[in-house]
Amino acid sequence: MSDQTTHPVMPTSDDLLGQEAIKASVREAYRAVIGTRTTVAERLYDPGQLALLPRGAIEQALGVGNPVRAAGLGSGEVVVDLGCGGGIDTILAAHAVAPAGKAIGLDMLPEMLEVAARNAAEAGVRNVEWLRGEIEAIPLPEGSVDVVISNGVVNLSPRKSRAFAEIFRILRPGGRMVVADIVVDEGLPTEVLTSAAAWAG
């Protein structure tokens, strides 16, 4: 009987199906947009919401929808915004759950959290907390939040099932999740699946 050892296949430098390569690509892409002005917010948010926001949060918006409007947030609730970016949805959530509730913004980039914290301070909201972390390993206790919102972020995860498991873990019984995102309902060609721009975009 021969002694055979199986060696795991490691992703090559251009194999973006490797989780760490995907994460690195996403991090670099979003670092590059810090400070970039966009017109996304004017298309997605109503004038009443925009009036609550500082210019920096409006210009930094990179989402694909308006999860705060759909979430039906109420005073006293604890809401976490996964992949908070410049803080637009976290700030709006903080307004919606005030005065007794709290909004938590989570992002993997410390630079984004600094931008979001500045925007929140300019907006005058105090019932906010900022956490650094990944959506596949949310640094919050089990059953600690009423609502999870996310805007164009779950699609960036290389482990979506893990991200959804984490969302379920941190939600209280009867809690809810509102996600605005991009969904692909058919297979993608290999050149797209192995493209840094496609994963980060």
What are the tens digits of pLDDT across the range 85-110?
999 999 999 999 999 999 999 999 99
Q: In this structure, are residues 181 and 154 in contact, taking their beta carbons and an 8 Å threshold? A: yes
Instruction: Give percent of the chain with pLDDT exceeding 70.
Output: 88
* Cα separation, 115 vs 6, whole angstroms: 46
pLDDT, greater one: 168 or 9: 168
- CA proximity to 119, closest of 152, 149, 84, 143: 84
Q: Which domains, and CATH codes, for the chain? A: 19-184 (3.40.50.150)
User: What confidence score (pLDDT) does residue 168 get?
Assistant: 98
- CA proximity to 52, closest of 94, 80, 81, 83: 94
Global pTM? 0.84
**How long, in residues, is the chain?**
201
What are the tens digits of pLDDT across the range 1-40?
434 433 333 344 444 457 777 777 777 776 777 777 878 8
